[in-house]
């Protein structure tokens, strides 16, 4: 939706530690990295005509089918040449993809989220890796090339939990909602409910959404509801913020404030390089807490 430049600037300034995204956002980011052309159109065109002309519509963005085919081809070539095999987290695969982009398209970090994240050490997770054209091409790689590469959701869950556990304070900025929203917020219940590690909930919560709570979906769920799950620290509930607006309008304004603030730059954490260590720390603490829990039940 044209917000990649905002996120890239925040990563560059050390204001984003990790990202959870839909796979679709990352796939379409590759069009920018590969310098493919998209067109602005209208949401009111005749989609039957677009279909006949080989044009795909995403609301008012028109994508030539050849752009998708060429992007798919790039992904498949990357999967073959990278030699990636076995189970790995989505962050590990996205890092490899980002580094490949930096190699074959020097300078693309200025306008590609995936490339920038690899450059600045920011892990990108996808809560539903099969639900995108990237996942579709990984599936192709497994079936046709007999690859053992697999995006392991267990690794994703544990890496995100490990990052949350290690942080002194936790917080999030949510654009929209859906699966990525819950994938981040469930980290707190995973810690206390499953691993017996009480973290206390998120300390900061900002969401920009057009969804409403009355429809019962996760995108419109309030921070107050999240408190009941242990996802948000009860003491900070009055300071949480939900903005009912189009993210493409509100988020750039938010970013302008953030980069102009006196604390608008900080050292980058490079969590990409710390993932294995953080997961090992999580496992040690979890085993200790599970042992206590089992002893209490005996």
Q: How far apart are CA 267 and CA 288, in angstroms?
A: 32
Q: Cβ distance 213 to 221 under 8 Å?
A: yes
Nearest CA to 197 out of 171, 153, 167 is that of 167
Cα angle, residue 203 at apex, residues 207 and 196 outer, rounded to 5°: 115
Catalytic residue among 119, 199, 231, 269: 231
Q: Cβ distance 40 to 60 under 8 Å?
A: yes
Is residue 288 among the annotated active site residues?
Answer: no
Nearest CA to 164 out of 264, 274, 243 is that of 274
Helices (H), the chain: 4-12, 23-33, 47-53, 65-82, 90-104, 113-120, 133-144, 153-166, 178-185, 187-189, 223-228, 247-260, 275-297
Instruction: Pull the structure tokens for residue 59.
Output: 């609301």
Q: Which residue is it, tokens 């560059």? A: 12
Q: How far apart are CA 21 and CA 163, in angstroms?
A: 16
The CB density around residue 75, as the number of other CB atoms within 10 Å, is: 21
The CB density around residue 98, as the number of other CB atoms within 10 Å, is: 27
The CB density around residue 67, as the number of other CB atoms within 10 Å, is: 19
Q: How far apart are CA 250 and CA 242, in angstroms?
A: 11
Hey, which residues are catalytic here? 231
């Amino acid at each position: 939706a044209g917000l990649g430049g905002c996120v890239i600037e925040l990563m560059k300034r050390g204001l984003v530690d990790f990202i959870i995204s839909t796979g679709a956002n990352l796939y379409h980011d590759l069009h920018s990295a590969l310098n493919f052309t998209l067109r602005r159109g209208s949401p009111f065109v005749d989609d039957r005509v677009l279909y006949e002309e080989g044009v795909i519509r995403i609301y008012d963005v028109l994508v030539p089918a050849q752009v998708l085919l060429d992007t798919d081809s790039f992904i498949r070539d990357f999967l073959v040449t990278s030699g990636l095999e076995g189970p790995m987290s989505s962050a590990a695969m996205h890092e490899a993809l980002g580094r490949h982009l930096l190699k074959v398209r020097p300078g693309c970090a200025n306008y590609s989220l995936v490339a920038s994240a690899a450059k600045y050490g920011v892990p990108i997770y996808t809560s539903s890796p099969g639900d995108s054209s990237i996942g579709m091409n990984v599936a192709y790689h497994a079936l046709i090339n007999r690859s053992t590469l697999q995006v392991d959701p267990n690794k994703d869950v544990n890496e995100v939990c490990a990052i949350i556990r290690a942080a002194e304070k936790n917080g999030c900025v949510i654009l929209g909602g859906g699966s990525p929203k819950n994938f981040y917020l469930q980290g707190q219940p995973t810690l206390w409910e499953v691993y017996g590690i009480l973290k206390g909930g998120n300390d900061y919560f900002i969401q920009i959404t057009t969804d409403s709570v009355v429809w019962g979906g996760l995108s419109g769920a309030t921070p107050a509801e999240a408190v009941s799950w242990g996802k948000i620290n009860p003491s900070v509930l009055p300071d949480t913020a939900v903005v009912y607006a189009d993210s493409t309008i509100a988020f750039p304004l938010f970013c302008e404030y953030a980069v102009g603030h006196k604390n608008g730059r900080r050292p980058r954490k490079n969590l990409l390089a710390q993932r294995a260590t953080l997961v090992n720390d999580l496992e040690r603490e979890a085993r200790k807490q599970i042992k206590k829990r089992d002893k209490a039940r005996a």
